[in-house]
Amino acid sequence: AQTVTQSQPEMSVQEAETVTLSCTYDTSESDYYLFWYKQPPSRQMILVIRQEAYKQQNATENRFSVNFQKAAKSFSLKISDSQLGDAAMYFCGITDSWGKLQFGAGTQVVVTP
């Protein structure tokens, strides 16, 4: 069984500043992927970034980057130069070798002008 824990129910950040969302996971799989999805008020989940467990290099997508610490089973998301459009619920997720995607409870990001 896989579990994902997001310990921050809500994070607030000012525009143009940086915020980091934490995520820890547990898995017995050797082959897995980690994901961050964003859920804006429209409720539709959108993929933000993904990381293959075998890759040591941290994934980056424009203003979004991850800090993947495999030994610690930690997968945090950093949002740089925050924008008002980044306000959303962010979910950390993990897939197993069968492709089943499990998520954490989410972190609400509030962006203030």
Partner 1 sequence: ETGVTQTPRHLVMGMTNKKSLKCEQHLGHNAMYWYKQSAKKPLELMFVYSLEERVENNSVPSRFSPECPNSSHLFLHLHTLQPEDSALYLCASSNGLRVNTEAFFGQGTRLTVV
The residues near 50 (Cβ < 8 Å, ≥ 6 apart) are 33, 34, 35, 36, 59
Nearer to partner 1, 43 or 113 (CB): 43
- Judged by CB under 8 A, does residue 64 bind partner 1? no
Nearer to partner 1, 19 or 25 (CB): 25
- Amino acid found at 108: Q
* CA pair distance 12, 50, nearest whole angstrom: 23
> 14 to 53, contacts with partner 1 by CB under 8 A?
31-33, 35, 37, 42-47, 50, 52
- Mask for 2-21, x = binds partner 1 (CB under 8 A): --x----x------------
Number of residues that bind partner 1 (CB under 8 A): 28
Token look-up 């997968």 returns 75
Which residues sit opposite 33 in a β-bridge? 52, 95
